[in-house]
Amino acid sequence: MGLLGRLFQRLWRILDGLRKVLHLALLLFLFAIVWAAARHPLPLVPARAALVVRPEGRLVEQLTGSPFDRSLGLLTGDHEPETLVRDVVESIHVAAKDGRILALVLDPSQMSGAGLTKLRAIADAVQEFKKSGKKVLAYSRYASQEQYYLMAQADEAFLEPTGAVGVIGFAAYGLYFRDALDKLGVEVNVFRVGTHKSFTEPYTRQDMSPEDREQTQGWLTPLWQAYAIGVETARKLPAGSVDAYVAEAVPALKAADGDAGRLAEERRLVDGRKTTLEFERLLVGLVGEDHTTHSFNAIGHAEYLAAARPEAALTRHPAGEVAVLVAAGNIVDGERPAGEIGGDSFAEIVRGARYDDDVKAVVIRVDSGGGSMLASEVIRQEIAALKAAGKPVVASFSSVAASGGYYIAMDADEIWATPTTITGSIGVFGLVPTFEKTLAKLGVASDGVATSKLAGAMNLERSLPAEEKELLQTGVAHAYRDFVGRVASARHKTLAEIEQIAEGRVWIAPDAVRFGLVDHLGDLDAAVLAAAKRAKLAPGKYEVTFREKELTWRERLLRELRAEGELAVRGLGLAPTPPAAAAVARAVGAFQRQLRAVAAFNDPRHLYSYCGCGLD
């Protein structure tokens, strides 16, 4: 055997050894979770306890990534924590009827991000819980604006003596890169239709365009008004109290000798200030003492659901299903894990509901700013086929259902949105960066031959020829006309009516109802009820299921192990998140999501209907 052969043989042995080590590491990882799960069986609900709702990370409609990624991230800390809104809402609804749960505790200290629509869903569940006559208490050492919205829903809200309430108003700022791209020699070719289609502006401008400024103010102001009214209603404050708290922040804090907690108490944003120990003793008086932790008897919402769901399943006798299909994240071509909407993978879920005889109606739950036009059309066609098969289809919009997010839902029998949903953005763009000038700065050039002016035109190391630019702009214009025409047909409007509200304009849901883009204002429960009525399902005689892409047996195992592992590692302490660290982490996370959105664009025609709008 020659030297080269021996070299490859040795390389193969090294790679094979590495493979075995990685397999062993994976097995040890799985055994570690199984061991943890075995040591921590499913929890029992105490005879007297408080349900502790402590969302971790971002509130989402769908968890991001594969079960394996989430399981690994849980142990390594590399995965940004997420909490399913529907899990929180379900736990509160079930607890309201559970005689073992005597109180509800809201602890938002670990929540890092949420759209107002998602916060409102939890707030509505809390208000419904209050009708049971049980006490609702809230506590935090520091409350950000989003965290405080949940605190405000309690009967009594307490702040750590040195804490603060960070209510400051809403803002929508973005980063603009034109000058930086010019310095780097990156040429960004933008093709768009829609005077207000603003997603590409950060790559072509150094500031917000007048059109985008106008439309953003148009939805930002109603969102802030909804936030303020929600707090004032829950806290029984006079109208204008929240705006006054923000406007008078500087002189008011000076008058309070810089004591932010005192200011929050004086303005009745909280009922008082207590240390963690004092708050725990208050709960002990309500629900009793846990003699193991010497705190109050408590069970977290995730642990409570793990115990309550099997109990509830024993009493179910459904005559059919209303299947909720969650479309959350950016819309991209092909197959994608949860947290993104793959054109092929989501179409497969819709098709599965179409051929499942147990599914009598479908609700498409959308939380997306859109993405690939091709993937959106693949999904729309499958939803149209579902509707043609005779199964009612109702769309339910979460925080954002704009651009492609609206496109995939427009053929539904009914469209529901919450008053704080951002929608519309009917427009199309293409975005193609080229790096000829960048390479020239490094002394690198591209040259060669082709059989036509278009051959090799999309090589990003060369500037786009005029013919290719014209081709792309023509395709964008056609896609826009097609989008507008399909909306007009689906919504039973004329082209002229849709053109007046299109052009990429972003709308708040009440305006969308006025224009006919949305049928009704209401939450997910209202949409489910509407779907059940269309399917002629009697109340209480159907089951609501949330369907995702069918998992392999390995993924199902990992999902179960992850659930058990979470029960093993979660505590019920009221640990704070440092405000500065949370703010930095959120800013970095938002920037990373913006970059990921662009990096994930994979439409083969380079045509996108995407809206980077909203506060979530």
489: annotated active-site residue: no
Element holding 135 (H helix, E strand)? strand 135-140
Q: What is the DSSP string of 440-484?
A: HHTT-------SSSSTTTT-TTSPPPHHHHHHHHHHHHHHHHHHH
Reading the block at residue 321, the tokens are: 């299903």
- CA separation (Å) from 476 to 87, 152, 408, 431, 492? 40, 46, 18, 10, 24
**Could you tell me if 151 and 126 are in contact, meaning their C-beta atoms sit under 8 angstroms apart?**
no
CA distance 324 to 529: 12
The answer to whether residues 234 and 153 touch, using CB atoms and an 8 Å cutoff, is yes
Can you list the alpha helix ranges (DSSP code H) found in 273-397?
A: 276-287, 301-313, 343-354, 373-388
Residue type, 506: V
Count CA atoms closer than 13 A to 153's CA, side-chain side: 26
Question: Residues 139, 165: contact at Cβ < 8 Å?
Answer: no
β 359-368/393-402 pair status: parallel
Helix or strand (DSSP H, E) at 608:
strand 608-610
Interacting residues of 323 by C-beta distance below 8 A, sequence separation 6+: 353, 356, 359, 361, 362, 363, 545, 546, 547
Known catalytic residue at 134: no
Instruction: Report CA-CA distances (Å) from 26 to 33, 77, 299, 580.
Output: 11, 17, 32, 36
DSSP 8-state class, residue 203: G
Dihedral class, residue 157 (left if φ above 0, else alpha if ψ from -120 to 50, else beta): beta
Q: What angle do CA 347, 58, 236 make, to 5 degrees?
A: 115
- Pairing relationship of beta strands 608-610 and 370-372 according to DSSP bridges: antiparallel
State the catalytic residue, choosing from 135, 197, 274, 360: 197
Looking only at the bridges linking them, the beta strands covering 187-193 and 428-434 are antiparallel
In whole angstroms, what is the distance from residue 573 CA to residue 559 CA? 25
**Residue 575 structure tokens:** 């640990």
Q: Give kind and range of the element (H or E) at residue 579.
A: helix 579-599
The H or E element that residue 417 is part of is strand 414-417
Token look-up 């917000």 returns 208
Strand order, beta sheet including 57-60: 82-84, 57-60, 111-113
Phi-psi region of 133 (alpha: psi -120 to 50; beta: other; left: phi over 0): left
> Of these residues, 403, 425, 493, 609, which one is catalytic?
403
Q: Which residue has the tokens 């594969």?
A: 66
Q: By three-state DSSP, how is residue 359 classified?
A: strand
Q: Are 227 and 149 in contact (CB under 8 A)?
A: yes
Catalytic residues: 197, 403
